[in-house]
Amino acid sequence: MQNEKELAKEIVEKVGGARNIKTVTHCITRLRFVLKDKSKIDENGLRTLKEVLGIVDRGGQIQIVIGGGVERVFNAVEPLLLTQDKEEEKATDSPEDKSKENSIVQVIMSYVAASITPTITVIVGAGLINAILAVAAQFGLARDSGTFVVWSSFAQLAFTYLPVWIAISAARYLKTDSYLAAFITVSTIVYFSGPETLSMFGVNIPEVNYAGAIVPVLMMAPVLAFIDKFLSNHLHKNLVFMFKPLLSILVMLPLLLFIFGPLGALVGTLIVKLSFALMELGPISMAILAALHPITVIFGMHSLFTPILVNELTTLGYTYVLSRALAANFAMAGAALAVGVKSKKIPNKSLGISTSVTALLAATEPALYGVLLPLKRPLIASCAAAGVTGFFVGLYKVHAYSLGSFNLFTLSFTLGGDSMNNFYIAVGCALLAFVLGFVFTWLMGFKED
C-alpha cells in the first residue's frame, strides 16, 4: 500500500497536475476537486490505484472516493498545489468560465458542499459531547449541575455559531476575505438575534434569529465576493487597504439584515416544514429515502441533503432525515459480509469480510464500491434491506443529534433528550438492517466473475 504522500502525488498528476486544480476539499470519505479542464483527467490511471475506491463527476466536482483515510491524503495533497498569480486566478474563476462548464445548479451544489463540509468536524465533536452528557444524565449526573451546564453550553456554541464557520469556508471557497465574512456574520448573531426591535436609517430591522441560521450566510458570501472583487478593481491602489473593508461592511450589513436574513429565514422555515412533512409521512418516506441512499452515494448526490440536515440540527436540535443513512449503512455492511461468507473465490471472500468490518467501524464506501456495486445483486439486496428498515426508522421517528456517517461508534449520535428510547430503537434498527442485508444477499445470490 502506498503512503499518503505517494498517493497524493499520483492523484494530483492524474487529475491534470497542480496547475489544473482550482480547489480541493474533502468530506468524510472523498477528495473533492474543482478542475480547470476535466479533459486532462486520467480516469483509467486513477482507477488503477488500489486506494481509490471510485470516481464520481457530480455538481461540478470530481469526487475521488478514498475512504476513512481521506483526511491524511488531503493533507498530503495540499502542499503539492501551486499558487496561481492573480491574473490567472481571475481568468479561471470568472462566472463566465464556470457557466461554460457547469449548469447553475451544479455551481450552487459545489458551493454549498464546499461551504458546509469543512464544518462537519465541529458538529461531530459537539454532538458527541451531547451524547456523553445524555448517557451521564441517565447515570445520575444532574442536568443543573455545573459540570453538565458548562459542557452542554460549550457544545451548544458549535451550533449557535455554525454560520460563522460556514462563512469562513464559503469565503475561502470564493477566494474572498474570510475574516470580513466572519466579522459580519458574528455581528448579526451577537447584536441582531435578540427580541428587541432595532432600526437602521429609520426602518425597523426584520426580527430574525441568526444563531444557527446557515441560509442567510450562504446567500451573503457570493455577494461579498463580488463586492470585494469590484472594489479591488475600481478603487485606487492607495485606497484599497482602508476603504475596501469599510465599504464592504457598509454595503453587506444592511443587505444581510434587510434581504438575506429574512429571505434565509423563510427558506429555513420551508426546510423545517419539509422535515415535518417527511416525519408525518413517516414509514413510507423514510423507507424510500433509505432504499435510495446507496444509489445517491454512488452518484455523489447524498450531499444534496446536507443543507437540510444542518438546518434541521440548528433549528430543531436534531435531524430526522439523517436516519435514512442508519438503515442503509448497516444494510450494506450486512450485504458485504454475506458476500464474504458465501463467496467461493478467495479475493471476494476476503474483500467482503474486510469491507463489512470497515462499514461497521468507519465508512461504507469500500463495501459499496469494492463489493456491492461490482456484483450488482448485493447492491439491490442492501437497498431492499435499507428500505424495510427505513420503514421502522420512520415509524418510530428515529433521529440524530449530530451529523456524520452512521456506524457502530456513531450510533451514539442518537443519544440525547431526556430518554434513552431513541438510542435503543436506533440500535434495534441497525441490527435489523444488518441482518436483513445479510439474509437478502444470501437468498438473492450473486455471480462471481
Residue with cell 450552487: 108
| φ, ψ at 143 (rounded to 5°) | -70, -15
Q: Locate CATH 3.30.1360.60 in the chain.
A: 4-85
CATH homologous superfamily of 4-85 = Glucose permease domain IIB (3.30.1360.60)
As beta bridge partners, residue 65 has 30, 54
Q: How many CB atoms lie within 10 A of CB 127?
A: 27
Q: What is the pLDDT of residue 449?
A: 65
Our answer to whether residue 27 is catalytic in this structure is yes
Q: What is the pLDDT of residue 83?
A: 46
Of 403, 428, 390, 433, whose CA–CA distance to 289 is shortest?
390
Q: What is the pLDDT of residue 59?
A: 66
Amino acid, res. 75: N
Cβ–Cβ < 8 Å for 263, 216? yes
**What is the spatial distance between Cα 264 and Cα 254, in angstroms, rounded to a whole number?**
14
| φ, ψ at 319 (rounded to 5°) | -120, 130
Q: How many CB atoms lie within 10 A of CB 338?
A: 26
**What is the spatial distance between Cα 43 and Cα 200, in angstroms, rounded to a whole number?**
55
Cβ–Cβ < 8 Å for 348, 429? no
Q: What is the pLDDT of residue 360?
A: 93
Q: What does DSSP assign to residue 2?
A: -
**What is the spatial distance between Cα 286 and Cα 292, in angstroms, rounded to a whole number?**
10
Helix (H, G, I), strand (E, B) or coil at 182: helix
Q: From first to last of its 449 residues, what are the pLDDT tens digits of the chain?
A: 468 889 999 999 999 999 899 888 888 788 989 888 888 999 999 989 988 888 988 767 889 988 878 888 998 998 888 644 344 444 444 444 444 455 787 788 778 888 888 888 888 888 888 888 888 888 888 888 999 899 989 988 888 899 999 999 999 999 899 999 999 999 888 876 666 678 888 888 888 888 888 889 999 999 999 999 999 999 988 898 889 999 999 999 999 999 999 998 888 888 778 777 777 777 999 999 999 999 988 877 777 788 888 888 888 888 988 999 999 999 999 999 999 999 998 888 999 999 999 899 878 888 998 899 889 999 999 999 999 999 999 999 999 998 888 999 889 999 987 788 999 999 999 999 999 999 999 999 998 76
Which residues have CB under 8 Å from 402's CB, separation 6+?
123, 124, 126, 127, 128, 130, 131, 313, 410, 413
| φ, ψ at 156 (rounded to 5°) | -65, -30
* 91, 101, 125 from 105: Cα distances, Å: 21, 12, 31
| φ, ψ at 301 (rounded to 5°) | -90, -5
The dihedral region occupied by 425, where left means phi > 0, alpha psi between -120 and 50, and beta the remainder, is alpha
**What is the spatial distance between Cα 304 and Cα 28, in angstroms, rounded to a whole number?**
15
Cβ–Cβ < 8 Å for 268, 315? yes
Strands 54-58 and 30-35: unpaired
**What is the spatial distance between Cα 173 and Cα 81, in angstroms, rounded to a whole number?**
15
Q: What is the pLDDT of residue 195?
A: 61
Distance from the first to the final alpha carbon of the chain: 25
Cβ–Cβ < 8 Å for 87, 146? no
Q: What is the pLDDT of residue 61?
A: 82
Catalytic pick among 11, 12, 27, 174:
27
